[in-house]
Amino acid sequence: MRGSADRHGPMADEAMLDLALEGADIAPLLMVLVHLTGERQWLEEVGPHIHGPWNFQQSVPADIQQRVRARMRAVLRDLATGVAPLPAEPPPELLREMLSAGVGGAVPDEYIPMILEEMNLGDRDPKTVHWRTSPDAATLAKFRTVIVGAGVSGLAMAIKLQEAGIPFVLYEKNGTVGGTWLENSYPGCGVDTPNHFYSLSFEPNHDWPDHFSKRDELWQYLERLADQYDIRRHIHFATEVTAARYDEAQALWRITTRDASGRQETIEANALITAVGQLNRPAIPDFPGLADFTGPKFHTARWDHSVSLTGKTVAMIGTGASGMQVGPSIASDVAHLTIFQRSAHWAVHNANYHRSVGAGKMAALKLIPFYDKWYRFQLLWASSDGLHASLHVDPDWQMPDRSLNATNQAFRDQLIDYIREQVNGDEDLLRKVVPPYPPYGKRMLRDNHWYRMLTRDNVDLVTDAIERIAPDGVMTKAGTFWPADVLVLATGFDAQRMLAPMHIVGRGGQTIRELWGDDNPRACLGITVPRFPNLFMLYGPGTNLAHGGSAIYHSECQIRYIMQCLRELLETGAKSMEVRQDPHDRFNDHLDATHAKMVWAHRGVGNWYKNRHGRVVTNSPFRLVDYRAMTERLDRSEYVMV
The confidence score (pLDDT) of residue 496 equals: 92
**Angle formed by the axes of helices 26-37 and 62-81, nearest 10°:** 40
Q: What are phi and psi of 108, to 5 degrees?
A: -60, 150
How many structural domains are present in the chain? 3
The gap from C-alpha 361 to its chain's centroid, in whole angstroms, comes to 23
Q: Please give the model's pTM, rounded to 2 decimal places.
A: 0.96
Residues 503 and 538 in one domain: yes
Residues 534 and 551 in one domain: yes
In the beta sheet, which residues pair with residue 148?
A: 171, 274
Residues 438 and 334 in one domain: yes
User: Is 195 within a domain?
Assistant: no
Residues 529 and 609 in one domain: yes
User: Is 512 within a domain?
Assistant: yes
The confidence score (pLDDT) of residue 7 equals: 45
pLDDT means per 10 residues in the chain (642 residues)?
45 84 97 97 97 96 97 92 82 97 97 96 92 93 97 98 98 97 97 95 96 97 98 98 98 98 98 94 94 98 98 97 97 98 96 96 96 97 94 92 94 98 98 95 94 98 98 98 98 93 97 97 98 98 93 97 98 97 98 95 81 94 97 98 98
Residues 246 and 308 in one domain: no
**Angle formed by the axes of helices 14-23 and 62-81, nearest 10°:** 140
- What b/e readout covers 586-611, taking b as 16+ CB neighbours within 10 angstroms? ebbeebbebbeebbbbbeebebbbbb
Q: Find the domain containing 521 and state its range.
A: 143-177+231-281+495-641
The confidence score (pLDDT) of residue 8 equals: 43
Residues 485 and 470 in one domain: yes
The confidence score (pLDDT) of residue 12 equals: 59
The confidence score (pLDDT) of residue 2 equals: 42
How does DSSP classify residue 463? -
**At 450, which amino acid appears?**
W
The confidence score (pLDDT) of residue 602 equals: 79
User: Is 212 within a domain?
Assistant: no
The confidence score (pLDDT) of residue 1 equals: 41
The confidence score (pLDDT) of residue 273 equals: 98
Q: Decide which of 489, 521, 540 is a domain's last residue.
A: 489
User: Is 220 within a domain?
Assistant: no
The confidence score (pLDDT) of residue 3 equals: 44
C-alpha distance from residue 55 to each of 206, 211, 235, 359, 365 (Å)? 17, 11, 40, 16, 15
The confidence score (pLDDT) of residue 162 equals: 98
Phi-psi category of residue 130: left, alpha or beta, with phi > 0 → left and psi -120 to 50 → alpha: beta
